[in-house]
């Protein structure tokens, strides 16, 4: 039911935030510098921009970086640009999203409990290409986020996912001080927002995160 396309390096997954980055016009530059510093995947997330604005930013981002680019919850934009998609539990249902996209477009899905992971594993046909497990810690970068799971719970979910050949990344409240806590867990990478988006030097922040989280 699973299996990411080819071999993707999930080790440092950046989720963008235009507010933390100082405005939507700075997102592509920050992401580009983060990739130069070692970010291996970028997800464009902007809950307030229009589809047209997201499409313009995504097109610029796709031209600027050579790592997988995911769009958060904008399935029609992802379909038009032929990039990848990430959805949450209350976004478009996964089977519908999968039916709308091409086979070469990956889909990531947020998972925060055994029940949600059970539903992923039970999917018929191709499941998500990666899951984001979290929030790992309490976070303020996502409205109404539940309490942090903690490293042990994240590891337990990631270990179950790995048994199902499903890559996972930990997300939520992870910074350079906490990144190393996931080195010996079953996750395939760490996912960060403010640790890079709010950094004075995004490239240096990415390097610090990669150094802290070593496989």
Q: What is the pLDDT along the chain (215 residues), one digit of tens a residue?
A: 444 456 899 999 999 999 999 999 999 999 999 999 999 999 999 999 999 999 999 999 999 999 999 999 999 999 999 999 999 999 999 999 999 999 999 999 999 999 999 999 999 899 999 999 999 998 766 666 778 999 999 999 999 999 999 999 999 999 999 999 999 999 999 999 999 999 999 999 999 999 999 86
Round to whole Å and give the CA distance between 13 and 30.
13
Round to whole Å and give the CA distance between 145 and 140.
8
The verdict on residue 3 lying in a domain is: no
- Radius of gyration of the CA atoms of the chain, in A: 16
CATH number at residue 142: 3.20.20.70
pLDDT value of residue 6: 63
Does 210 belong to an annotated binding site? no
pLDDT value of residue 30: 98
The verdict on residue 1 lying in a domain is: no
Does 73 belong to an annotated binding site? yes
The verdict on residue 117 lying in a domain is: yes
Sign of the C-alpha dihedral computed for residues 85, 126, 168 and 138 taken in this order = positive
Does 71 belong to an annotated binding site? no
The verdict on residue 2 lying in a domain is: no
pLDDT value of residue 105: 98
Does 47 belong to an annotated binding site? yes
Does 104 belong to an annotated binding site? no
The verdict on residue 80 lying in a domain is: yes
Does 178 belong to an annotated binding site? no
- Report H helices in the chain: 27-37, 51-64, 75-81, 94-100, 114-121, 151-163, 176-179, 194-197, 202-212
Question: What share of the chain in percent tops pLDDT 90?
Answer: 90
Does 43 belong to an annotated binding site? yes
The verdict on residue 171 lying in a domain is: yes
Q: Environment class of residue 82 by beta-carbon count within 10 Å: exposed (0-12), middle (13-18) or buried (19+)?
A: exposed
Residue range(s) defining the domain that contains residue 93: 12-212
pTM value > 0.85: yes
The verdict on residue 4 lying in a domain is: no
Q: Environment class of residue 202 by beta-carbon count within 10 Å: exposed (0-12), middle (13-18) or buried (19+)?
A: buried
The verdict on residue 157 lying in a domain is: yes
Does 185 belong to an annotated binding site? no
Instruction: Please state the domain count of the chain.
Output: 1
Phi/psi of residue 43, nearest 5 degrees: -115, 125
What the block records as the tokens of 45 is 């997330």
Does 193 belong to an annotated binding site? yes
Does 44 belong to an annotated binding site? yes
Does 91 belong to an annotated binding site? yes
Round to whole Å and give the CA distance between 10 and 111.
16
């Amino acid at each position: 039911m699973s299996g990411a396309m080819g071999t993707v390096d999930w080790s440092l997954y950046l989720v963008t935030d235009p507010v933390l980055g100082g405005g939507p016009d700075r997102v592509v530059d920050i992401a580009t510098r983060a990739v130069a510093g070692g970010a291996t995947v970028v997800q464009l997330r902007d809950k307030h921009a229009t589809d047209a604005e997201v499409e313009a930013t995504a097109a610029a981002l796709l031209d600027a970086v050579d790592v997988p680019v995911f769009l958060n919850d904008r399935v029609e934009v992802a379909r038009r640009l032929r990039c990848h998609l990430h959805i949450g539990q209350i976004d478009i249902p996964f089977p519908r999203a999968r039916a709308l996209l091409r086979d070469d477009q990956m889909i990531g899905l947020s998972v925060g409990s055994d029940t949600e992971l059970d539903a992923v594993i039970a999917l018929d046909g191709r499941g998500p290409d990666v899951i984001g497990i979290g929030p790992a810690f309490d976070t303020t970068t996502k409205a109404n986020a539940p309490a942090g799971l903690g490293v042990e719970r994240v590891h337990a979910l990631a270990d179950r996912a790995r048994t199902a050949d499903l890559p996972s990344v930990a997300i939520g409240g992870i910074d350079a001080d906490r990144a190393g806590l996931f080195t010996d867990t079953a996750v395939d990478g760490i996912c960060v927002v403010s640790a890079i988006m709010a950094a004075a030097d995004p490239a240096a922040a990415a390097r610090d995160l990669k150094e802290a989280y070593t496989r």
